[in-house]
Structure formats: C-alpha cells, structure tokens
Amino acid sequence: MPTHLLQLGPGMAASSGTGGVSGGGGGTGTLAGTTTIEEVRSVDDSGGSTDLGISYAQTGFSNAPLTCSALTDGTIRYYLVGTNKLTIRVSDDSNATGESGTSDITASTRPLAVRPPLLNNFEDADGYEAYQYSRSGTKYYAVELYQGGVEPETFQGPIYWNGTQIYSGSMVPGSGWSPNMTYGPHTDGLTYKVGSYQEVYNDDTYYSITRGIPTEEHYRYTTTNAVTGIKAVFTPTISSSSGTGGGGAIQPLRTFDGTAVPNNTTLSAMDSGWKTTGGDMSLGVTLAFTHNTGTMNNSSANYTLDGQLDLYARDSVSGDVLVKSIRVRAQTQANSTY
C-alpha cells in the first residue's frame, strides 16, 4: 500500500511506497515503480497549483551610492540513471550582494520528503560554500604546522569545520597546505578545500577553509520495468527583464533542451521531444538560466522566469506517462536607491 500520496496533477499521482504513476494531463497508462527520493513539491501537492516546486530568489539591495548586485545561475535536469531510475538534479551557483535586506535563497516549498534534505534547500548544490576562517572559538581552518630545529620541516596539520576536526593531519615531512588543495571525500561525503592565507600563529600557518556540496539527486522514481523514453515540456508564463537607470541591460540567458526561451515576447510551450537512446536519456533534458544584474548604483534590475515543467516517461508496457509536474520560478532583483 502507498505510504504517502503525492498529487502530481489532474488525474494522476505518485506514491512514496509501492505503487506507480498513472497517465493524466497528456499521458496514458501506468508506469509501475516507487518514489525513492522526493524533495521537490509537485503542482497541486498539498496546497494548490500556486505552490512553488523550485524557487530561486536572489535580491540585492543598497542605499546609493553604495552598490549591489544579484546573480541567479541554475539548472534543473531530468534524466535517466541506469535503465529505470528517473532523476531530477537541481544546481545552483547564485549569489546576491549589498546591504541589509540582501538575500540569496534557492529551495523547494515541499513540507515533507521521503528523504528529508536540509530545509529542502538547493543552495550551492553543485559548488562550494563560502570560505570560513576562525582560529579560536568555533574553529574553521586548515593549518600548516612548522617544526623548527636543525632540520626544520612543515607538516599538514588538522582541518576544522564548524568546531569539528575533519582531518587530523599528516606527519609526512615536507607536506603542507596551500590554496586550492583539497581533502576528501570525508566520511560525511563532502570535500574540503583550502582557501587563502590568513595568519601565522606560533610559527604555524593558518588558511581559510570551505566545503564542497556534492551533486545531489532531488527526486528519483525507480520504475519496475526498463524505461524506453523520456521527455519534458516547459511552459513559460513569464520570461522578462527590466530595469531603471540603465539596469536590466544585460540579457538573461535561458534555455530549455538547448533552445533559447524567449524574453519579453510571446511565450508558448516548449517540447523536448522523446529521448529514446541510452545516451540521450542519460544526458536528459535541462532547463538552464542565468540572470546577471551586474553592479547597480542608483539603478535597479529585475529578471523573472516562471513556468511549469512537465516530465514524462514510458516503458515497454506503459503508454506515455506524466511522471511529475513542477512549477519553477527564478526571481532576480537588485536595487540601489537614494
């Protein structure tokens, strides 16, 4: 019996227990299988079609003549792993700069998940966090140890992150740390990277440290039978850019399966067509967007992409099945005002 029901759109649903997805809204038949990872809210999932499945929200603010900026840089990729694992990955390399009121959030509003993520947050899903440094208190650093004497040597010392020792160090003479050196993957699955030089204390050299967030699967539906085709349809409802004082002049880059999404013009559904070879299905279909406000000084910029992403699949015994529908919104704003 299903353990949790996820409404995916008119006339069909998926289960996080044993069950399947049934055709609806353009699909027919049933795709037998199990939802094994669910971190993205579907359209009409516990709150109505206005619920955002994936939301990028970057806002830069400053009081002129101080400057601000915002960048939204993300992808949503739907593809096949092996022969029967339908997968979604969300990447994010966004940021916002400015004063109080500046924010940078990329997340799903889904309240529950089969495998709960950290706050359903996709920030830095494909990159490294901000560099941190603190030699005392809650420690964040990599330290190169110095041993004096007749034959002085350096050694790789410990790495600390959030007060926890991640790496105890190496006693190999001549080893040490330098910017961009990495350690990992650690037992937590993350890779740690050495940042810039910070200080020398008691002859030991201290560096800042960051950690890399591995590429993560944010949705997986494991089918009973081998998948023979996948496709996606993106229906944009808003694709715009605007600004004041010269802001908004940098053109947004938005593509769906390699085709440009129109900006500030008439919009219509974009269909990837069926991907049926192993190579094409493993590559999948990607919705990608880059909104770059540039530096604002007594100016503003506003970029918006909003729409619905419908994901389909078929196997040897099913018809064309709508697996999941997601509302996607990328909002990027920067405003420097007197």
Range with the lowest mean pLDDT among 23-27, 78-82, 320-324? 23-27
Q: Rounded to whole angstroms, how far apart are CA atoms 67 and 317?
A: 58
Share of the chain above pLDDT 70, in %: 84
- pLDDT band of 79, cuts 50, 70, 90: very high
Residues 6+ away with beta carbon under 8 Å from 230: 78, 79, 80, 86, 274, 275, 281, 284, 285, 311, 312, 313, 314
pLDDT at residue 112 above 60?
A: no
pLDDT at residue 198 above 70?
A: yes
**Contact between residue 122 and residue 218 where contact means Cβ atoms under 8 Å apart:** yes
- pTM of the predicted structure, to 2 decimals: 0.72
Tell me: the pLDDT tens digits for 216-266? 788 899 999 999 999 999 999 999 999 999 999 999 999 999 999 999 999
Where b means 16+ CB within 10 Å and e means fewer, 142-157 reads bbbbbeeeeeeebbbb
The more confident residue out of 213 and 119 is: 213
Q: Strand 54-63 and strand 103-107: pairing?
A: antiparallel
pLDDT of residue 44: 73
- pLDDT band of 47, cuts 50, 70, 90: low
- Helix, strand, or coil here: 328? strand
Tell me: the pLDDT tens digits for 141-163? 999 999 988 778 999 999 999 99
Average pLDDT value for residue range 58-76: 95
